[in-house]
Structure 1
């Protein structure tokens, strides 16, 4: 069986989860890591997969990975504002690409990546690992079953108190990719969007900004039309939360932990008028491993990824509208 040979750009902290998932997939192999910081790629490999030291190539640049002839797929976990250029380079060099969220900061750049991917016949996907956990499959199943009735309202909450070691996330303005909006906001918005069958119509949001113009907290409302709406709360100042709740005409569903640890069962609470309150325990699963295995199989079998670039485009459009509303202090129409 053909295995997909992977290259990783950068030594980001998220490699703690993704690097082993790539290296240990039965459908792929980790071929190389590249970082612009001297020795960072080698240190990353030593830290997260030391058994592969000497077997995986390490480079002190990104381009050596992007243009390496033996690499099939590229994973991009660089800073939020740095995704577009290497993604386009990789796609135009006929590499398949998995891009950590947010795929870009601008919808026009998503369109450019989409056009390049179609031209070069490669797969590109935005990295929302949570949708590959069986918990999310169950959430979608409950919505489509009609147990909740018509979904009318969703509330998504993502937060954690940011520590000094993570201040690099808030050292630049929202416009330049800093703050909670572009860090945890993509998850909050994506979970909301998965609960409705239509795209957002309008948005209003308000933020608490720091001295760099990065948002420490952002809250807002989204109008989906037909009396369907949502609220979101994201924060680097609030107690840790990673959850969303769906309300329908017949019941409600609480997802208690969206970013479920692979060693823990997931818990959903379904409440309906007919059956009262019921807790469902979802089996343990590593959604990072499931994400990588899925993307590898899409490449091998030439099938469409679970998350399309149209989905990525609309998530980016929604985040752009939130950013605009923060600045203008008004409702923004999409």
Structure 2
């Protein structure tokens, strides 16, 4: 069974600036803005000296070697921030003070204290802020909620979710392996299962247990396993830079289970996500087609143009930030595995 495409396209006149010449901006978000009609990408800024080449490659009219210069551009309405995690809060606040709306890569902050600061800055400036968890905008989540609300698998008991890929250890060190830049497997990809649990339960974890592996003492976590309880729901969450690609979730209920093999990266299958339902000894698969990156930027463009925040978005971002902060603190207290 296959659901038809669901796209959140719009025809927006928003003029975007991009902070950071990251691969995700080039390969995913900028093409999505154009594909969804979510505005014009007017400028790119990079402190690495890549702005001119990046702009030439993607046909972006303006290039800046300094983020403040882009924020001072009066023609820019909104910015997409694709900088290292540790830089997010600083540049969200700077963008807000410059009167720019902000779509920022996940995780939007490294602590709830930072979240307080960025939300205060955006509220004071009257600008919109959204966290770029693109998977939230795939239609499979709507379908999943319908299945759960209909009691398809009974009461939810346990969630198992994993996000893995293999990250080469090279010199200079990849920013995802640098703790000073907010790196680590938890912040880079483990945040997805954590965010999913916050979305599923509408809560922060009541209990958390963590084990982590680090390549060297004081280094960023390269593998992590989390056991948590959200009310009556238990969860096992895993992430690593040391295994072949996997980005999935399995929901186990009193009457069956639902497997989501494409829950975070349906774009890897052209936008089609599979939902496998197992109950009473039988299995069925529903396929849902959706453009999660396009839907994300289109939804943000509508927020900017109408001034209406995404329902529940800010609350989910806060639950995720609080859970990540708690998990990271538990990992720091634990005896690190590995070398």
Q: Same fold (TM over 0.5)?
A: yes
Looking at structure 2, the residues matched to 117 and 310 of structure 1 have their Cα atoms a distance apart, in angstroms, of: 15
For these two proteins, the number of residue pairs brought into alignment is: 320
Q: Which runs of 5+ in 1 are unaligned?
A: none
Residue 276 of structure 2 corresponds to which residue in structure 1? 269
Offset, 1:120: 1.9
Which structure has more relative contact order (CA 8 Å, sep 6+)? It is: 2
Within a 5 Å distance, the mapping from 1:31-70 to structure 2 comes to: 31-38=42-49, 40-47=50-57, 49=58, 52-53=59-60, 56-70=61-75
Secondary structure in 2 matching 1:240 = strand
Matched, 1:224 2:230: yes
The residue correspondences of 1:9-24 to structure 2 (distance < 5 A) are 9-15=19-25, 16-24=27-35
Alignment partner of 1:29 is 2:57: no
Output the TM-score relative to the length of structure 1: 0.90
Unpaired segments ≥5 residues, structure 2: 1-10
The two structures have a TM-score, normalised by structure 2, of 0.89
Q: 1:317 is matched with which residue: 302, 309, 322?
A: 322
Partners of 1:27 and 1:17 in 2: CA distance: 14
RMSD: 2.0
Q: Which residue of 2 aligns with 1:186?
A: 191
1:3 to 3, 13, 16: 13
- Taking a change above 3 Å as real, the CA distance of residues 99 and 63 of structure 1, as seen in their structure-2 partners, is same
Between the aligned partners of 1:310 and 1:223, the Cα distance in structure 2 is 19
| TM-aligned CA deviation for residue 204 of structure 1 | 1.1
Change (3 A) 1:36 1:313: same
In 2 relative to 1, CA 304–171 (structure 1 residues): closer, same or farther, beyond 3 Å? closer
**What does 1:253-332 align with in structure 2 at a 5 Å threshold?**
253-258=258-263, 259-261=265-267, 263-273=270-280, 276-283=282-289, 285-306=290-311, 308-329=313-334
Choose the corresponding residue for 2:152, options 144, 147, 150: 147
Cα 1:253–1:300, aligned 2, differ >3 Å: closer, same or farther? same
Contact preservation (8 Å) 1:80, 1:177? yes
